[in-house]
């Protein structure tokens, strides 16, 4: 075949021990590639469980990580990563007001971090506080103009308010910074 760009590969093997489709790694399989200091082991495992659980839609991992984080919350109350994980769980559990409080604290601990601005904006949108959410998305793009999640969210927010020109401007600035030519200029 000369045109390798449009080829599809299919696995026609017949295995003695077929792998189960859709099997995701279980919480017991999460192992640190390098063990951190003792006081951070439970924290890091809890964060890994929450992250993997949210990505894999594995509620058992999320619940296990959440329980661990709750036990650690008092001693880690000034850890923005712990707070971010807790806020993400609260958002997933449809508790945006509580998530907003937690994300505000994480942002206060690390005020010039664009992803935390986006997290707070997401919780604010879910709490029907659109104008403040937009302010946080704009701030996130001041801090990191190439943060695609912020660009997408801000453009969507502007479009939902009928401000298509603002949305197009946000996307246009992003595309220009990424070196992507617009369709109209080709």
pLDDT by residue (tens digit) across 83-118? Answer: 999 999 999 999 999 999 999 999 999 999 999 999
Mapped onto helix, strand or coil, the DSSP state of residue 127 is: coil
pLDDT for the residue numbered 12: 57
- Can you tell me the distance from the alpha carbon of 61 to that of 141, in angstroms, rounded to the nearest whole number? 32
DSSP H or E segment with residue 26: none
CA 3 to chain centre: 37
- Rounded mean pLDDT, 22-46: 69
* Per-position DSSP letters for 46-106, written without gaps between them: HHHHHHHHHHHT-HHHHHHHHHHHHHHTTTTTT-HHHHHHHHHHHHHTT-HHHHHHHHHHH
Alpha-carbon gap, residue 101 to 81, rounded angstroms: 14
Torsion, Cα of 158, 161, 166, 172 (10° steps): 40
> Phi, psi at residue 147, to the nearest 5°?
-80, 100
Average pLDDT in the chain: 85
Judged against a pLDDT cut of 90, whether residue 128 lies above it is answered with yes
pTM listed for this prediction: 0.75
Residue 38 pLDDT > 80: no
pLDDT for residue 184 is more than 60: no
pLDDT at 73: 78
**Helix, strand, coil % in the chain, rounded to nearest 5:** 65, 0, 35
141 Cβ contact partners less than 8 Å away, ≥ 6 residues apart: 114, 147, 150, 151, 154, 170
* Chain Cα centroid distance, residue 185: 33
């Amino acid at each position: 075949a000369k045109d390798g760009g449009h080829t599809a590969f299919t696995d026609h093997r017949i295995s003695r021990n077929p792998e189960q489709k859709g099997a995701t790694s279980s919480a017991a399989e999460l192992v640190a590639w390098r063990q951190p200091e003792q006081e951070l082991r439970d924290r890091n495992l809890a964060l890994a469980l929450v992250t993997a659980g949210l990505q894999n839609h594995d509620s058992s991992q999320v619940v296990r990580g959440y329980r661990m984080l709750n036990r650690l919350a008092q001693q880690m109350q000034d850890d923005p990563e712990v707070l971010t994980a807790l806020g993400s769980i609260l958002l997933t559990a449809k508790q945006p007001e509580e998530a907003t409080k937690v994300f505000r604290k994480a942002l206060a601990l690390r005020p010039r971090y664009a992803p935390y601005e986006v997290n707070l904006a997401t919780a604010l949108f879910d709490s029907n506080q659109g104008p403040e959410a937009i302010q946080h998305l704009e701030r996130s793009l001041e801090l990191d103009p190439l943060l695609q999640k912020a660009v997408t969210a801000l453009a969507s927010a502007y479009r939902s308010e009928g401000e298509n020109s603002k949305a197009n401007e946000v996307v246009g600035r992003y595309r220009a910074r990424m070196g992507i030519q617009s369709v109209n200029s080709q």
